[in-house]
Amino acid sequence: MDRESISLSEAEWKVMEELWNCGCATGRELTERMEQRCSWNRSTTLTLLRRMEGKGAVESVQEGPVKTFRPRLRREDAALRETESFLGRVYHGSLSMMVSTLSRKQALSRKEIDELYSLLREAEVKTDGQDD
């Protein structure tokens, strides 16, 4: 499966966050972290890891009795996939409609407004000279 097309459930996102933060971890380390963070039992975490390995989101290396997991899916790719899915489902692919909705519902700070202007200027430079 193409890594950019991998869809993660909410529970899988939690496991991936742990792996993205640490780079790699043993099954034992992950089960302990997920127990502390989410009150999950060992079986839940190991089932999720097997499912995620099947999807190609994580990979494992077995060294004796110890299995170490690491992400195969980059955080940026997962975030982009999720954002594109959300944008298509909720806003029919319209980024401007999403930004308009969000800016009407919550006040933007000066810093956020400046960041948005900066992003728009970068997008404008990229599209200059391209056909619409």
* 68 bridge partner residues: 26, 61
pLDDT tens readout for residues 89-113: 999 999 889 888 888 888 888 998 8
pLDDT tens readout for residues 37-49: 999 999 999 999 9
Residue 129 Cα distances to 54, 96, 119, 121, 132, angstroms: 43, 22, 18, 14, 9
Q: Tell me if the pTM is above 0.85.
A: no
Label residue 127 by pLDDT band (50, 70, 90): confident
